[in-house]
Each structure stands twice: as C-alpha cells, then as structure tokens.
Amino acid sequence: MKGDVVMSKRIHVAIVGGGMGGLAAAAALHHRGISVAVYEQSGVLREVGAGIFVYPNSLRQLERMGLGPALARVGAKVGAGSEYYRMDGSVVGKVLTTDSSGWNGMYGMHRADILKVLADALPANAIHTGHRCIGFSQDEAGAHLAFENGNVTHADVVIAADGIHSVLQKHVVEPSAPEYSGFRAYRGLIAADRLPEWRREAHQIWMGDGKHFMVFPVRGGELLNYVGFVPTPSQTAESWSAVGDRDELAASFAGWDPRVTYLLEKVETCFWWGLNDRKPLGKWVNGRLALLGDAAHPMLPHLGQGANQAIEDGTALAVILQACGQDASVEDALKRYEELRRPRTSMVQAESRKNGLRYDSRYADLGQRDREIANIAVLRRSLYDYDIEKEALRFLSMDEATI
C-alpha cells in the first residue's frame, strides 16, 4: 500500500477474528509496515445485513490509511435533516453530525461494505478463513495458536478480536458474564425507493414509551437501515442473524409518528438481537496476547461507538507497536496500549448505557429528557474530536520523557 512505513524491526502480529475490529486493526498495522495475518473461523468473510455509523473519530484514521475514496463510494453521507423526535413526531432537537471544526465525517455503512474495504486494503495472503482458534500458548520465543483444522501458527503478538464471546479472553482475564439490558433490537434494511419521500441523508431517532426507533441511510443512500429497540422480559440471544417477528415489531410502535408506522408497513422480514454488554474488564493484556474491540469492551449501541472504538483500538495498537524498537519488549508495548485505551472505552461504555435510558424516556419529566438530549451534543462533539493517533503519539512521548 502506498504510504506504508518501513519499520526497523519486523514484528509479526496474528489477529484472531476477521470482523470489523480485526480487519481495522490489520489495516492499521499493515499501513505502518507491521507484518500481520488474520485468522477467521468462518469459511468466508461476511457480515449479515446491518448498518453501522462511521463517525469522525474513526473516519479520520481510516482516511489516513488511504481508504477515504473507497469508503465514500460505499457509504451514505449523513447530515441534513438529522433530528430527534418524541414518539408523536414533534421535534426535540438536531442530531450532531460534525466535529467541532464543522467537518461532517459521518457515514451510514452496510457492515459488508466496510468489511470489504478493509479486506481489500490488505495483502492477498493476509486473511485465512476457515481457522477456528482452539488453543493459545506463549513463551520467550513468541506466541502460538492452534486451530481446529490442525494448523498452527506463531507470532510475536496475538490480538484477540474475536468478539463478545471471545475464546481467547480466558487467557487474559476471567470472562465476565453478559449483562442483559432488558431490550431486544429489531433491525433490517429497506430499499430507499420504496419510501420516496424519506429524507435520504438523515439520521432520525424517535423516543418514548420505554422504547425508541431509528432510521439512517447506508450503501450510498440506496438502502435505509432501521432499528427498533423494544423491552422484553425474557433474554434474547446475542445473535446478528436471528429472524425477528415482523408483526411484533410493527405492533410495538403502533400509534407512533405516521412516518414510523408507514415505514414499518413496508417491512417484510427483520432480524433481532439481544442487547448485552459487560462491566469493564480488569485487564486486557497477558504477555504477548491483547484483547481488542468487543473482546475487550462490548458496549450497548446507544452512542453508535462500538465499531468506532474498535477502529481506535487498532490505530492505537499500530502506533505503539510501530514505536517498538529493536530492543523493546512487545509485552511492554501491549501494556502501554491497554493503559491508553481502557479509560476511554470504559467511559464510552458507561455513557452508552446512560444514553439508552434517555432514548427510552425513563423520565417523569420529558422536558428534562429533552434538555439532556440537547446537551448530549457536548459529549458527542468530544467523541468526534478525539484523535487517537495524536493521543497515542503524545502518550508515547510522555512515556519516553519519564525514562
């Protein structure tokens, strides 16, 4: 890739997990001249049909890797008409879509599209599908992975990017139990031409009655991604591909703003998944093994930062490992990565929970809720302004100053 940096020491990194976090980390490492291989348990790289947001805090990192044009081709710019509403459709306020400079670096993305962009940024032989990890060990010579297909591999560093049910997490810390939020999310995609009067660039959020509903564009505006968050007394599986009940979804939002009910009339099939997160882990690193993304910090989706924080993780890791000199310890470098990232992701986890409570209107005074929604722009702007590459370099310079 153009702009790759040649390192003085060729560190080899093995990443377990070929989802968003694993491929974003691989792209960041490769961009900085670090040898990387990705091991994915599925036979092919795939993401089921679901939309995510790429916000300014992660988009600026991806653009520095040279991925801006590719993302612009497959993303849907989100901006004009983005608003919060009460359940009856009355406007609460604007949804922030820029950082403090006014840069609108915000796309709605189909997961499969961004996954392909990240995969295309890697050498052809970097991704190994059909590799389910079943064993990990490490010694002074390096780290070692064993796979169900009988293959083994060796690396200087292993990154566990294998999601909320990480098989490698147990080698770092006692796995924490999932905490069910009490909500399931119905999601799906609808062709935009079936809703010709819909605001094509808008992120719209309706809030009320213990639930909320949102819509935003993906795939260049060709598709609209919708998500309905509904309370349920029974725990729903943590699955992206469980088929949901379309009639139950429509009934959950009966009587809401006609725009919501009109869209739901067009829904033919949908999926659902149970919303879980975990308390922040006590540690992310054990020797040559480090956790990344949902394996380290699964969070509720109410700030849309899950994938964006994983992209930040990958960038931080790449910057810190690139600075790992000939005599430096990769174990020490991974400790620096954890020290830099854990406070921020713990904060985002907590704020995501709080924002879900706002969206679901658990307030005696909705006026208070509406004022808090207006004030959330301050938090969002601070999230979008954050530049993990600059923070990692500053962190390393402070570290060097104490030596």
Gap between the Cα atoms of 84 and 81, Å rounded? 10
Percentage of residues in the chain having pLDDT higher than 90: 75
Gap between the Cα atoms of 379 and 52, Å rounded? 19
Per residue in 169-208, pLDDT tens? Answer: 999 998 777 778 888 889 999 999 999 999 989 999 999 9
Cβ-count burial 265-289 (b if 16+ within 10 Å, e if not) = eebeebbbbbbbbbebbeebbbbbb
- Looking at every residue in the chain, the average pLDDT score rounds to 90
pLDDT band with cut points at 50, 70 and 90 for residue 232: confident
Which residue do the tokens 């380290």 mark? 296
The residues that bridge with 138 in the sheet, in sequence order, are: 143
Beta strands 91-94 and 83-86 are antiparallel
The contacts found for 141-145 with CB under 8 angstroms, 24 or more apart, are 142/288, 143/14, 143/287, 143/288, 143/289, 145/14, 145/16, 145/39
Residues 310, 24: contact at Cβ < 8 Å? yes
- Specify the pLDDT at position 6: 39
Q: Which residue has the higher pLDDT, 276 or 234?
A: 276
Per residue in 350-402, pLDDT tens? Answer: 999 999 989 988 788 888 999 999 889 999 999 999 999 999 999 999 866 65
Residues 89, 213: contact at Cβ < 8 Å? no
- Give all domains of the chain, ordered by start, each with its CATH number: 12-79+104-177+279-360+388-401 (3.50.50.60)
Beta strands 157-160 and 12-16 are parallel
Residues 98, 51: contact at Cβ < 8 Å? no
Residues 99, 56: contact at Cβ < 8 Å? yes
Residues 250, 204: contact at Cβ < 8 Å? no
Judge whether residue 5 has pLDDT over 60.
no
Q: Which of 49, 95, 51 is nearest to 75 (CA)?
A: 51
pTM: 0.93
- Specify the pLDDT at position 401: 60
- Specify the pLDDT at position 241: 58
Gap between the Cα atoms of 287 and 174, Å rounded? 16
Type of residue found at 189: L
Q: Is 132 helix (H, G, I), strand (E, B) or coil?
A: coil
- Specify the pLDDT at position 268: 85
Judge whether residue 237 has pLDDT over 60.
no
Per residue in 129-181, pLDDT tens? Answer: 999 999 999 999 999 999 999 999 999 999 999 998 899 999 999 877 777 88
For the segment 319-345, the average pLDDT, to the nearest whole number, is 89
- Specify the pLDDT at position 400: 63
Tokens of 268: 């033919």
- Specify the pLDDT at position 384: 98
Q: Which of 260, 121, 125 is nearest to 186 (CA)?
A: 260
Gap between the Cα atoms of 219 and 86, Å rounded? 27
The residues that bridge with 242 in the sheet, in sequence order, are: 272
pLDDT band with cut points at 50, 70 and 90 for residue 234: low
The phi, psi pair for 67, rounded to 5°, reads -95, 0
Please state which of the ranges 199-203, 212-216, 246-250 shows the lowest mean pLDDT: 246-250
Sign of the dihedral defined by the CA atoms of residues 194, 199, 200, 205, in that order: negative
pLDDT band with cut points at 50, 70 and 90 for residue 284: very high
Cα distance from N-terminal residue to C-terminal residue, the chain: 34
Query: How many helices and strands, by DSSP H and E, does the chain display?
Result: 10, 20
- Specify the pLDDT at position 9: 57
16's enclosing H/E stretch is: strand 12-16
At a CB cut-off of 8 Å and minimum separation 6, what does 372 contact? Answer: 358
Residues 297, 280: contact at Cβ < 8 Å? yes
Q: Is 20 helix (H, G, I), strand (E, B) or coil?
A: helix
- Specify the pLDDT at position 70: 97
